[in-house]
Amino acid sequence: MKATWTVTRKNLSRNSDEVLRDLYASTTTGEMGAEAMNKLVSEYTGSTRFVDRCKDMTVVRWSRGKGNANGFDSNTAGGIPHDDLLKDWAEIGLITEKVLAESLIVRKYEQAIATDTTIKGALEKMAAELCVEMSIEDAIFNGLRGVE
């Protein structure tokens, strides 16, 4: 008697297609318009140099309610799902390759901003606990970076 094996597709997130569809149902896909992109690029670069140079991007976000016709706002838009989940959704056809690529780009920028904010906050807290105002030169001398 021969054994037969069923080959199933391996998802990066290790979820079944049914679970992936259920997870996708709790997201919203929308366009990040010029205002949201300008804010994001200004926070990411620390400069307004690139304002109005970024195109609108369509991204997938966890939903916290109904969106609006103009895309995302702070009341409805949650975070962008992790990379593997986005890639799985693209693989089973729930999102396009374009939405995947743009979601991954915006997610990377948002993560970098969050990390920088966390580091800056920790450095400011440390300086406050030492009861000193830390200058850039002090930070460099002490091996700290990112203090502005």
Is 28 inside any structural domain? Answer: yes
Is 9 inside any structural domain? Answer: no
pLDDT tens-place string over residues 78-134: 788 889 999 999 999 999 999 999 999 988 888 888 888 788 888 778 777 776 665
Determine the structural domain holding residue 99 and report its residue range. Answer: 17-141
Could you tell me the pTM of the whole model?
0.64
Is 10 inside any structural domain? Answer: no
CA distance 24 to 121: 34
- Give the residue ranges of DSSP H helices in the chain: 17-25, 34-45, 83-91, 97-129, 136-141
Is 27 inside any structural domain? Answer: yes
- Report the domain count for the chain: 1
Please say if the pLDDT value at position 72 is more than 70.
Answer: no
Q: Residue 54 class from Cβ within 10 Å (0-12 exposed, 13-18 middle, 19+ buried)? A: middle
Give, in order, the Cα–Cα distances in Å from 143 to each of 62, 113, 119, 123, 124.
38, 21, 13, 12, 15
Is 5 inside any structural domain? Answer: no
Is 4 inside any structural domain? Answer: no
Is 146 inside any structural domain? Answer: no
Is 71 inside any structural domain? Answer: yes
